A and B are shown apart, each in its own frame.
Chain A
Amino acid sequence: MIHKVYSLQFTVYRIFLILFTVHCSLFTVAYAQVISSTELINNAKQYDGQVVTYSGEVIGDVMKRGNFAWLNVNDGANAIGIWIEASLTKDILYTGSFKSKGDLIEITGIFNRACPGHGGDLDIHAREIKKIQVGNKLYEKLDINKRNFAIALFIILGLIWILTRLKTR
C-alpha cells in the first residue's frame, strides 16, 4: 500500500516535471522569437544585421514599390517599416486606421539599424510573413450622450443669439 502511494506520487511528480519543462521551453522559444519594437529601437546596434521576428498590426497603406512593398507594422509601442516582396502582401486584407483594425502579422527577416539600401531607415527586410489574426472593420456606435449634449448646447446657443439680436434692435 505504502509502495503504491509512493509510486503514484512519483508518477504525479514526473508528469508535473514534464509539463513544467514543456511549459518553460515553450515560453523560452516564444520569448526568444518575437522581439518588441522598443527592444529593437533601444538596442538597434546589437540587433543590426540579425534575423529577427517581429509581430504587430499592419497600419496605414501598403505602399507598393515595383516588385516590393513597404508595410508599417505597429506592435503597440512603435511602428517599424517592413520591406517585403509585393507578392507576399496579397493576403493582407485590413490595415489599421480609425475605421479598421489591421491584420496582425508576424515577420521574420533581417533587421537594419540604418539600412544601406533605404536611406538609412531603421527597417526589417522580411523573408517570411505569417498572418496571426485577420483584422476587421470597426463600426462606430453613436454616442447618445454626446448627441444630446450637442443638441442642448446649440439650442441654448440659438436662444442666446436670438436674445442678443433682439436686445441690439
Chain B
Amino acid sequence: MILRPRTEDLKTIGYYLGKIIIGLGLIMLLPFVLAILFNEINPGLDFLISSGISLLIGLLLSRLCFTNKDLNWMQGMIVISFSWLVAMLLGAIPLNLSGHWKSYLDACFEAMSGFATTGLTLVQDLDHLSYTHNLWRHLGPFIGGQGIAIVALSFFVKGTSGAFKMYVGEAREERLLPNVIHTSRFIWLISITYLILGTLVLGIIGILIGMKPVNAFFHGVCIFMAGFDTAGFAPQSQNVLFYHSLTFEIATIIIIILGSLNFNLHYQLWVGRRKEIFKNIETKVFFTSIMLAFLIVVIGLNRLGVYPKAIILLRKGFFQLISGHTTTGYATIYARQFISDWGNLALVTLIAAMGLGGCACSTAGGIKMLRLGIIFKALKEDIKRIILPEKAIVTVKFHHMKEVLLEDKAVRATLLITLSYLTLYGIGALIGTFFGYPFLDSLFESTSAAANVGFSCGITDAGMPAVLKLTYIFQMWAGRLEFMSIFTLIGFLVAAIRGKK
C-alpha cells in the first residue's frame, strides 16, 4: 500500500530546501562583487535581482516550513532532487536577464549544464559576455561538482544524520572522515587549495602566452573551476583552442585528471598514503581504460590519416580522449570535426569512453570506474565458479581504500545503475534520431549529456527542438544524481497522487 506523504514530510522537505536556496542566493552575491570590481553595472543588477529572489524564496520556505526534525531517507533524497531543479530555475535568472540566451529555457539548459558539470552550452555571442556572467557560468560547476547539498551541509545543516542522507542523494556514498559534515568541509578544503594553485598556474601560463594579466587570471580561475569540476565550460567560444598553447593544454589535462579522481583518493594522498594510488581498483581500471581507448582512437585516426604528423595525432587524440573519458568536454577541435574528421572507430571509442566516465565520489559523470571494476571482478568470480569444482568456495576481493569482499548486493546495485545509464544514453539517442538527427550524432550528444561530458557534435544549438532541450536537461540531472534520488522523487510524486491517507 502506498501512503500519501504527510504534511510533516512536506514541511521538512520545504525547510531544508529553503536552507539550500538561501545558500544559493548568498553565492549569487559573489558575481555581484565582481561586477562592482569590473564596473559592470547591468550584469551586477542581474545578480542582485537573482540573489534577492532566491533569498526571498529561501527565507519564506525555511520560515513557513520551520521544523526541528532531521531528514529521513526519503526526505533527504527528495530535497536533493528538488534542490537541483530549483538551483537550475534560479541560476538561470541572471543568465536570462543578460540577453545572451534566446529564451528562459535556454538559460535553464545552461544552468543545469553548469551545475551538473556537463558543459553543453546554448549561449549566444559568448565572446562579448560580461566577466560577471562568465564567472557565474563557471561557478555553477564548482558548486555543482562539489555538490549543491555540500554547500548547505558545510554551512547550514546541523544534524549529521540528515546531512548524510543529502550527501548520499548527490551520488556520494564514501565518507572521507567519520562525520559527513567534516567530509564536506574537507572536500571544500581540497577544492579551494587546488583552486588557488590551479588559478596561479593557469594565470602565469596565460601571461606567458601573451594574454593581458587580468584576462589571464580570470581565464585561469574559470578554466580551473570548469576543468577540476569536469564541466568543460570556457570563457571564449573556441573553448581551449582559443589559447593555441601546448603548455596550457598540458596544465588543463592535469587539472581534469585531478578532478576526475575519487575525493577519497585525494584524502589518502593528503594524509601521506601515496601507495593507495597504485593499489586502488579505480585508478587501475581508469588507467587501463584510458590506455586501451587511446590505442583504439590512435588506430582509428591513423587509418584515416586525419592528422599529418604522429605527434599531432597523439596531441589531438589524447586531449579529446582524456577530456571525454574524464567527462570534462574541453575541446581543441571544432564540434563538427568529430563527425567530419574522426571517423567511426575513433568516434565510437570516444562515445564509449564518455559513457564510462571517471571515478566515483569525484566531480566526473558517467558509469564510473569503480562500477566497471566491480563488474569485471564479478565476471571473474562467475568464471571461477564455472571452472572450479562445485564445492569450492569462491571469494573475490578488491582494493578500494581497504580490502573489500565482493558481495552480490554490491554487484546488483552496480549493475542496476550501469543499466540505468545505458538506458538513459539509449533513450536520448532515440529521441535525437526521432527529430531527424543521424543515429551516431544523436548517440554522441545523448551520451555527452547523460554522462555530463559536454562535447557536442553540433546538435546542441539554440535552434534545436524544445523537447530535445528538455530531454538533455533531464539527462544531465539524472546522470549527475545517479538516479536514486530521481527514482525516489518519482515514487514520491506517485504517492502524492495515488497514495492513501
- A-facing mask of B330-350, CB < 8 A → 1, else 0? 001110110011000000000
Complex Cα spacing A119 to B249, Å: 11
- B496: Cβ under 8 A from any A Cβ: no
- B-facing mask of A104-136, CB < 8 A → 1, else 0? 000000000110101111110000000000000
Taking CB as reference atom, which chain B residue is nearest A113? B341
| Stretch with Cβ within 8 A of A (4 or more), from B46-54, B76-84, B139-147, B402-410 | B46-54
B337 and A153: CB pair below 8 A? Answer: no
Given contacts A79-B242, A114-B308, A121-B241, contact A61 B210 (CB under 8 A): yes
Complex Cα spacing A149 to B45, Å: 9
Q: Which residues in A have their C-beta under 8 angstroms from that of B308?
A: 114, 116, 120
B49 and A41: CB pair below 8 A? Answer: no
Complex Cα spacing A6 to B191, Å: 86
Complex interface residues of chain B between 395 and 425 (CB less than 8 A to chain A): none
Complex Cα spacing A101 to B390, Å: 77
- A-facing mask of B45-74, CB < 8 A → 1, else 0? 110110011011001100100000000000
A59 and B336: CB pair below 8 A? Answer: no
Given contacts A60-B236, A98-B131, A150-B48, contact A140 B42 (CB under 8 A): yes
Complex Cα spacing A69 to B245, Å: 12
B244 and A122: CB pair below 8 A? Answer: no
Which of the listed residues B41, B52, B332 has the most CB atoms from chain A within 10 Å of its own CB?
B52
- A55: Cβ under 8 A from any B Cβ: no
Name the distance in Å between A88's Cβ and chain B's nearest Cβ. 15
A96 and B127: CB pair below 8 A? Answer: yes
Q: Which residues in A have their C-beta under 8 angstroms from that of B63?
A: 164
A150 and B56: CB pair below 8 A? Answer: no
Which of B42, B56, B341 makes the CB contact (< 8 A) with A146?
Answer: B42
- B-facing mask of A6-37, CB < 8 A → 1, else 0? 00000000000000000000000000000000
A157 and B56: CB pair below 8 A? Answer: yes
- A63: Cβ under 8 A from any B Cβ: yes
By a beta-carbon cutoff of 8 Å, the part of chain A in contact with chain B is 41-42, 44-45, 59-65, 69-70, 72, 74, 78-79, 81, 96-98, 101, 113-114, 116, 118-123, 140, 142-143, 146-147, 149-150, 153-154, 156-157, 160-161, 164
Closest 3 CB pairs of A and B: A63-B210, A153-B52, A120-B312
A-B contact pairs, 19 of them (CB 8 A): A45-B341, A60-B215, A60-B236, A61-B215, A63-B244, A74-B237, A81-B241, A98-B130, A114-B312, A116-B309, A116-B312, A119-B246, A119-B332, A120-B308, A121-B332, A142-B41, A150-B48, A153-B52, A157-B56
